[in-house]
Structure 1
Amino acid sequence: MGGAYGVLGGIKKMCQLLADSDMPVQSLIVCGQDEKLYKSMDGIVAEAKNPMHLFGYVHNVEELMAVSDIIVTKAGGLTVSEALTRHLPMLIYKPIPGQEEENARFVQRIGAGLVVETEEELEETVHRLLNNPQEIEQMRQAAAKALPGKAAEQAVKYIFELINECPESISGAK
């Protein structure tokens, strides 16, 4: 998944790799609003050894994530947070410097995904993960641990604790 504008580089090569794979794998390819990419994928999808489903821009990302074992993606904040919420392991390809790079480091540091920088590394990592479902499961468990349960409730409790610690001159009436 390359974001709304399909900016994940190397997506065609990755899809070709999955299309040619002898491993039983089903792929959901989200091109976002990149119509050129979408059209260029027709041949790959039509000749794939394994089931491939091609999507343009979608409004049901959470449903696609719910039926996925892993996501190959860029490290946009929304995608990363949605994947963590779904406990979906991430394979992040060539994160963009800045926010996405930091998001990718975070994902890798907590064990919820891996970061790859080259097409060769991407191919090797996909094959390794497909052959090692226990590694995918470890990333899934790490993603589950990354988000605290009842986060909204905990945030409200913490805010009230902060308010109660403030002197009356700062917090006003308690």
Structure 2
Amino acid sequence: VVCGTAEPVRRRIEGLARSLGLRAEVVGFERDMPRRMAEAHVVVGKAGGLTVTEALTAGRPLIIAGAVPGNETINEVFVCTQGAGASVRPGDVGTAVLAMWAQGRLPAMGLRARASVPRGAADAIVREVLATSCDAAA
């Protein structure tokens, strides 16, 4: 579990895992998210642009809990319509992930996640931005 800079959240999740007898690695800020994503079976989080991009690029299913109206709900719809994840109420995350795991749905969702990101997308965006910038400067 990656908690970012929220130290109280990290301590709370660590305590919860310990009290439930679960074996869990709970960390704060993570500098190497690609490695963490590669180690994960599933990503649970919000539908922010970076989280969605990282999860899909890593080929990990994304379980979205509590998308904020606006860009996050647009991202949420994209992930769900691609079959690359699911949207659940925050209180239902554990039950939903366990059900998807038990039904064997996560591997296929991961494959669809990776397939939803065009190869070379970042390079294409950079080329488009540079071309637009050069046109505007001319």
- The TM-score with structure 1 as length reference comes to 0.66
Selected match of 1:77 from 49, 57, 63: 49
Q: Identical aligned pairs, as a percentage?
A: 30
Aligned twin of 2:3: 31
CA RMSD of aligned residues (A): 2.4
State the distance in 2 between where 1:152 and 1:102 align: 20
Aligned twin of 1:141: 111
Amino acid paired to 2:44: V
Amino acid paired to 1:100: E
State the distance in 1 between where 2:36 and 2:60 align: 11
Selected match of 2:103 from 118, 124, 132: 132
Amino acid paired to 1:81: T
Superposition deviation, residue 62 in structure 1: 1.0
Aligned twin of 1:86: 58
Which structure: greater helix fraction?
Answer: 2
Uncovered stretches (5+) of structure 1, i.e. residues with no partner: 1-28, 163-169
State the distance in 1 between where 2:8 and 2:90 align: 23
Seen in structure 2, the aligned counterparts of structure 1 residues 77 and 61 have a Cα distance that, compared at 3 Å, is same
Superposition deviation, residue 50 in structure 1: 2.9
State the distance in 1 between where 2:122 and 2:2 align: 30
Amino acid paired to 1:124: T
Seen in structure 2, the aligned counterparts of structure 1 residues 118 and 58 have a Cα distance that, compared at 3 Å, is closer
Selected match of 2:27 from 55, 73, 79: 55
Amino acid paired to 2:108: Q
Shift >4 Å, 4+ stretches: none
Contact 1:45 1:53 in 2 (8 A): no
Aligned twin of 2:91: 119
Q: Counterparts in 2 of 1:150-161, with a 5 A limit?
A: 150-151=120-121, 155=124
**Which SS does the other structure have where 1:101 is aligned?**
helix
State the distance in 1 between where 2:95 and 2:17 align: 21
Amino acid paired to 1:97: P
Selected match of 1:44 from 10, 13, 16: 16
Amino acid paired to 1:130: W
Q: Counterparts in 2 of 1:7-22, with a 5 A limit?
A: none
State the distance in 2 between where 1:112 and 1:129 align: 12
- Residues paired across the two proteins, number: 130
